[in-house]
Amino acid sequence: MSTFQQPDPKDRPARLTVGVVGAGRVGPALAASLQLAGHRPVAVSGVSDTSRRRAAAMLPDVPVVPPADVLERADLVLLTVPDDALPRLVEGLVETGAVRPGHLLVHTSGRYGAKVLDPALRAGALPLALHPAMTFTGTPVDVQRLAGCSFGVTAPEELRLAAEALVIEMGGEPEWIAEDMRPLYHAALALGANHLVTLVAQSMELLRSAGVEAPDRMLGPLLGAALDNALRSGDAALTGPVARGDAGTVAAHVAELRKHSPGAVASYLAMARATADRALAHGLLKPELAEDLLGVLANGTEGSAR
């Protein structure tokens, strides 16, 4: 793993005025990181009271203005809105004449590459897709978490160095993602991070139902070790009754879940089937044990449909 080093001031690109369109959890944190690198936040837009309060906390003294005014004041504009809203936002900014030649327009969507900014490109803007592979809280701790965070970077080849330089200035590490690979890249992150939260939350609920007073304390060391092992060893880190082929234990799990948490049955079965497939493919699950196990999982699926 590479070690992040803050660029020497003399090597930094020219200082930019920075604007944020969409004061959700991501935009103010990135703008604050750019401010630490010497750039100057000058405007932010936010609709809800929550976003305005967040902007005031993360970017004090930076005025909250309409999106068109953000573009008028800033050289570098962070478009940090939900994925589904991004294409309409870009088109609207171009149609109203807010985009000017030379504007650096940066969106942070994982799903989209640079092509979603094509309307702005035709208006003379410079399009960059910089997606931080990080979960955000909307608090100052996010700025610290950007140190060493990977960014999925997509941009026209002539802007590649500029895009990577901005990521490095925010404390991140650029990872180049091809335009047509953005949806797959984003699906991979969602599968790992978003679904992890769901699985951990379900696990804590079940532990509470089993009488465990501090499920977070119980799970912390276990999940930390599992994550470390998985990152180091991949499928070789698989353990537990599915990887061992303990069909009776898995059947008991399914039966208990049906009694105490029917909503968790589907996710248990889905992950158990995926785990069994991977364990088989990597020689961890013996074929002679897999038949009974897969039978239990199939019966569990049929039971959940009733």
Q: Which of 143, 177, 211 is the last residue of a domain?
A: 177
Give which of 228, 238, 249 is closest to 280, Cα–Cα. 238
> Based on the domain organization, do 47 and 172 belong to the same domain?
yes
Q: Which of 132, 149, 177 is the last residue of a domain?
A: 177
**Which residue intervals of 2-81 are DSSP H helices?**
27-36, 49-58, 67-73
Which stretch of DSSP H or E encloses residue 161? helix 160-169
pTM: 0.86
Any domain includes 2? no
**pLDDT value of residue 13:** 52
User: Using an 8 Å Cβ cutoff, are 76 and 104 in contact?
Assistant: yes
> Based on the domain organization, do 61 and 45 belong to the same domain?
yes
> Based on the domain organization, do 95 and 242 belong to the same domain?
no
Q: Which of 177, 206, 224 is the last residue of a domain?
A: 177
**pLDDT value of residue 306:** 39
> Based on the domain organization, do 167 and 55 belong to the same domain?
yes
Any domain includes 300? yes
Residue 258: both structure tokens together: 């049906």
Any domain includes 1? no
Any domain includes 138? yes
Range of the structural domain that residue 157 is part of: 9-177
**pLDDT value of residue 5:** 47
**pLDDT value of residue 47:** 85
Q: Could you give the CA distance from residue 167 to residue 164 in angstroms, rounded to a whole number?
A: 5
Q: Could you give the CA distance from residue 70 to residue 88 in angstroms, rounded to a whole number?
A: 17
Per the structure, the count of domains in the chain is 2
**pLDDT value of residue 292:** 92
> Based on the domain organization, do 200 and 167 belong to the same domain?
no
Taking each helix axis as running N to C, give the angle between helix 160-169 and helix 27-36, from 0 to 180 degrees, rounded to the nearest 10: 90
Q: Going along the chain, which residue ranges are E strands? A: 17-21, 40-45, 76-79, 104-107, 126-132, 150-154, 173-176
User: Using an 8 Å Cβ cutoff, are 168 and 174 in contact?
Assistant: yes
**pLDDT value of residue 210:** 96
**pLDDT value of residue 245:** 94
Residue 97: CB atoms within 10 A of its CB come to 10
Residues of the chain with pLDDT under 50: 1-12, 303-306
> Based on the domain organization, do 91 and 117 belong to the same domain?
yes
**pLDDT value of residue 14:** 64
At 50, which CATH number?
3.40.50.720
> Based on the domain organization, do 219 and 103 belong to the same domain?
no
> Based on the domain organization, do 61 and 13 belong to the same domain?
yes
Residue 229: both structure tokens together: 């092992």
> Based on the domain organization, do 102 and 223 belong to the same domain?
no
